[in-house]
Amino acid sequence: MNRIQPYATARARPCPLSGQSGLNKPMPGLKLASLVLLCSTMGAAAEMTDSTAMELGYSVAAISEALQDPGTPGAMQAIINLGHDQRYYVMVRGWLMYQLQGDMSILQATQAQQQPALRARIDFIQQAIRAIDLE
């Protein structure tokens, strides 16, 4: 079974899911933030198998989709599933906090305009943070 290289040697190579030679180039599929989190997590796990890495990638992609459209069925569950895993809790919570801060900033800057979708995502993220904190 193939193994992912330890962090020290994997760091010099691009993330296998990026399809590019660097993270600053346009990438199809996952958003840049998702890919950076995934690559750093994959590189840090010296004993992670390819199938485990792919499973983690699918989980990160599911969270990315959940944040794009919080109303989809299973959106909260996708976040909870990975957030309750102690190996990835800090990554997921940090990602949610980062997204929440950005959304709050946008909401404050555009208070004159009605932003129901943004407000719904803020509420969703706050619920998700509470859900993974109260395991």
What are the tens digits of pLDDT across the range 5-17?
Answer: 444 443 444 444 4
What is the sign of the dihedral through the CA atoms of 85, 39, 99 and 95? positive
User: Which of the 8 DSSP states describes residue 6?
Assistant: P
Query: Would you say 35 and 18 are in contact if contact means Cβ atoms under 8 Å apart?
Result: yes
Tell me the per-residue pLDDT of 35-93, one tens digit each, with 9 for 90 and over: 555 555 555 555 668 888 899 999 999 999 999 999 889 999 999 999 999 999 999 99
Please state the domain extents for the chain: 7-133
**Interior angle at CA 74, CA 72 and CA 79, nearest 5:** 110
Query: Would you say 132 and 85 are in contact if contact means Cβ atoms under 8 Å apart?
Result: no
Separation between Cα atoms, residue 20 and residue 22, nearest integer Å: 5
pTM over 0.85: no
Separation between Cα atoms, residue 11 and residue 13, nearest integer Å: 5
